[in-house]
Amino acid sequence: MLENLAYGFSFVFQPFPFLMLVFGVVIGVIVGALPGITGSLGIILLLPLVSQLDSRVAMVMLCGLFCASMFGGSISAILIRTPGGASAAATMMDGYPLAQKGYAGKAIGIAAIASFFGGILSTACLILIAPQLSKVALQFHGADFFSLAVFGLSMIGGSSGKNVIKGLISGVFGMFIATVGIDSIMGTTRFTFGSVALMNGFPLLTVLIGVFAVSEVFQSAGKRFSEIDLPKQELKNILPSWKEIRSILKVSGISGLIGVFIGIIPGTGGAISSFMAYNFCKKISKNPEEWGQGSLEGIAAPESSNNGTTGGALIPMLTLGVPGDVVTSVMLGALVLIGVRPGPLIFLEHAPLVYTIFAGMIVIQFVMLAFSLGFARISPVILKIPQTMLMPIVMVLCVVGTFSLSNQLYNVFIALLFGLFGLFMRRYDFPAAPMVLGVILGPMAEANLNRALVVTNNDWTILFTRPLSLTFLIVAAGFIGMTIYSNKKDSRKEQAEKEAQA
Amino acid sequence: MKENKVADFFIGIGIVVFGIVVFMLSSALPSAPTGLGSRGYPMFLAILLIVLGLTLALPIALKGELKGELKIQFSGFKDPHAVIKIAVCVAMSFLYVFLVARLGFLLLTPIYLFGLMMLFGYRKYVLASVVSILLPVGVFFLFTRVFYVFLPTFRLF
């Protein structure tokens, strides 16, 4: 492994890959800081560039963007009380009060250092866990893979919205979308209605661009944007003292591990992990009364945790082909675009790429730390970019990006249609993430279920007789059951509170 | 809240209908002696959609949350102009993609970009004009000269 890692470092430190790594980090911080522009949208906007690059350079750049966008979200959360993304929402609770006390610079500095700790921890877990998980996954039977897909979908369907049923509908609909075109089992055309263009199905990235990016622009058209009120204070004392760094070490370590664990579970991501880490660390803190008032630990916990999810989310994405969150879904699409199919064989088929990602992830943390601390002083400049100008630019880049994937305007039409569909989903609270995961996992589920049935001569009980498959199915069913129960309990509680108030 | 329940009911029914259509279309696909064949998997998904659609719609109907509200309202946006602005944005985007094949990226994109900025409420006209011209020109040359992706150009026929 060390030899492979050494190869990874030697590649990453070549001038062009390193330049693209830094570019990814810079873009990541910028898109992360801009409210409304997420890491996944940032990756979508870079897709035309990704398709032109060597796979290792492209992935190092995207990983840089992924990690840095997590930190970037803290800038707007601290300065203007508007998180750049959901992952930074918990950072706002202590970051903004500290900024109000005149220590905005210190808050950003602590966020950068905690992000670094979280990132390093998650990279270490990625390097240690991913190869082992990949070896285990090589022993998976078709039935296990099918149940894994069901498990992934139920996790993301259950955790990404208020209504579990809507999440599941979204996921199953995504799986249906993936059936359009020539089927991989018998070569029959399905649901194409005679259209030659539909024979290849709906390209994953086109669906992603439509559902995540185009629908965001459409939705933004209906919003009224107000001028952002930036703090008048000068950002100074960004580099915390050694004593302050020591005070956040324990919290950063625990939160980073929470982030890694949450990141590994499909369908979760930085938003959930940062709140979990915040609440957990507040409970074990020696000074819980300071939390919410501008506590340094209160900034470190969510920031370390959300960066902890980055490496965690990459583990199932690389080794099983099951993305951990929305950003890794887009990254998986980008990998497919450059001809790499993630899964258990990735260490055998694309070892140089995987170890370049590992080495790149380590280097990214250092580059991100240096850039974040150096850039913090001028970071308010990013927030001055008006959304009213930004969103139209994003739209044009989406159109160009979609066109560049296949040189066909037909795909741009498809992206617009999915944008319209995504808008409908947002309007009626159907989460988009399960649908995208459905599109990704659908073919995997079908191929593996078919394989399992062919091997067992149509014996469906194979899904329940193989221990691993049964475990995935039980956990999936248990999770859905628990989520439905807790949602009902919450709604009953809300109802009772309303009645009490009335 | 009531409005969402009514909408959810109709969406649930729509999903059931969609599931039935998928099931019928799938049943016309070939099967295989072992394994799923072409039809097995979409039929399985269709059944799931029907079950999930019913799970969404039935509780709303059974709890009597539809009484006197049997119409879907689309007025959920606080700003009454929001729906119109979204509709204009969608229409402009479709029209842009439809026309760009004939008029070309360089000619049409500045108009589209400027129009979108105005629609979104950006009112610094000079800066909007400059960005609307420079960005498409930059993107065009980047894609055609560096990435070798040939964006649509103006053509008469």
Residue B88: list chain A partners with CB under 8 A. Answer: 221
Which residues fall within 8 angstroms of residue A390, CB to CB, at 6 or more apart? A34, A36, A37
B77 pLDDT higher than 60: no
Interface of A with B in 165-194 (CB under 8 A): 165-166, 168-169, 172-173, 175-176, 179, 183, 185-186, 188, 190-191
pLDDT at A295: 87
A232 pLDDT higher than 80: no
Report the mean per-residue pLDDT for chain A.
Answer: 86
pLDDT at B117: 93
pLDDT band at B115 (very low <50, low <70, confident <90, very high): very high
B73 pLDDT higher than 60: no
Residue A193: list chain B partners with CB under 8 A. Answer: none
B118 pLDDT higher than 70: yes
Which residue in B30, B93, B139 is closest to A400 by CB distance?
Answer: B139
Q: How confident is the model over A154-177, as a mean pLDDT? A: 82
Minimum distance, in Å, between the CA of residue B156 and any CA atom of chain A: 18
Q: How confident is the model over A12-34, as a mean pLDDT? A: 91
The reply to whether A403 touches chain B by the CB within 8 Å rule is: yes
Residue B134: list chain A partners with CB under 8 A. Answer: none
Minimum distance, in Å, between the CA of residue B102 and any CA atom of chain A: 11
A335-369 per-position pLDDT tens digit = 888 888 888 888 888 888 999 999 999 999 999 99
Which residue in B22, B37, B151 is closest to A176 by CB distance?
Answer: B22
Binary contact (A188, B93; C-beta < 8 A): no
The reply to whether B121 touches chain A by the CB within 8 Å rule is: yes
The reply to whether A222 touches chain B by the CB within 8 Å rule is: yes
Residue A228 belongs to some domain of the structure? no
Interface of B with A in 61-90 (CB under 8 A): 76-77, 79, 82-83, 85-86, 88-90
Q: How confident is the model over A464-477, as a mean pLDDT? A: 90
Please state whether A81 falls in left (phi above 0), alpha (psi between -120 and 50) or beta.
Answer: left
A179-216 per-position pLDDT tens digit = 999 888 888 889 888 888 888 888 888 888 898 889 98
Binary contact (B35, A223; C-beta < 8 A): no
Return the percentage of chain A with pLDDT > 90, whole number.
Answer: 23
Residue A501 belongs to some domain of the structure? no
The reply to whether B53 touches chain A by the CB within 8 Å rule is: yes
Maximal C-alpha separation, chain B? 69
Residue B42: list chain A partners with CB under 8 A. Answer: 176, 179, 190-191
Residue B12 to residues A167, A405, A478, Cα–Cα distance (Å): 13, 35, 24
B83 pLDDT higher than 80: yes
Q: Which residues of A244-279 are buried (b: 16+ CB within 10 A; e: fewer)?
A: bbebbeebbbbbbbbbbbbbbbbbbbbbbbbbbbbe
A286-336 per-position pLDDT tens digit = 888 888 888 888 899 999 998 999 888 888 888 888 887 778 888 888 888
Residue A327 belongs to some domain of the structure? yes
Task: List the single range of A45-59, A124-138, A319-333, B56-70 with lowest mean pLDDT.
Answer: B56-70
A28 pLDDT higher than 60: yes
Q: How confident is the model over A418-431, as a mean pLDDT? A: 90
Give the count of domains, chain A.
1
pLDDT at A63: 93
| Two structure tokens written together for B82 | 């929001």
Map tokens 């069913």 to a residue.
A477
A445 pLDDT higher than 70: yes
Residue A439: list chain B partners with CB under 8 A. Answer: none
> Rounded to whole angstroms, how far apart are CA atoms A402 and B91?
18
Residue B139: list chain A partners with CB under 8 A. Answer: 396-397, 400
Residue A326 belongs to some domain of the structure? yes
In terms of residue numbers, what domain contains A397? Answer: 2-222+241-496
Where do runs of H (alpha helix) occur along A230-385? Answer: 242-264, 270-284, 296-320, 326-337, 346-349, 351-375, 380-383
Interface of A with B in 31-60 (CB under 8 A): 48-49, 51-52
Task: List the single range of A485-499, B38-52, B94-108 with lowest mean pLDDT.
Answer: A485-499
A268-280 per-position pLDDT tens digit = 677 778 888 888 8
Q: How confident is the model over B68-91, as a mean pLDDT? A: 70
B68 pLDDT higher than 70: no
B5-55 per-position pLDDT tens digit = 888 899 999 999 999 999 999 998 888 888 888 888 999 999 999 999 999
Residue B36: list chain A partners with CB under 8 A. Answer: 185, 446, 449-450, 453
The reply to whether B113 touches chain A by the CB within 8 Å rule is: yes
A-chain residue closest to B25, CA distance: A191
Minimum distance, in Å, between the CA of residue A492 and any CA atom of chain B: 14
Q: Are A66 and A43 in contact (CB under 8 A)?
A: yes
Residue A216 belongs to some domain of the structure? yes
pLDDT at B75: 44
Q: How confident is the model over A396-402, as a mean pLDDT? A: 88
> Rounded to whole angstroms, how far apart are CA atoms B119 and A157?
35
Which residues fall within 8 angstroms of residue A355, CB to CB, at 6 or more apart? A4, A5, A7, A8
Interface of A with B in 414-433 (CB under 8 A): 416, 419-420, 423, 427-429
Which residue in A222, A395, A412 is closest to B116 by CB distance?
Answer: A395
pLDDT band at A420 (very low <50, low <70, confident <90, very high): very high
Q: Is A391 exposed, middle or buried (0-12, 13-18, 19+ CB in 10 A)?
A: buried
Give A324's DSSP letter.
Answer: S
Rounded to the nearest 5 percent, the helix, strand and coil shares of chain A are: 75, 0, 20
pLDDT band at A32 (very low <50, low <70, confident <90, very high): confident
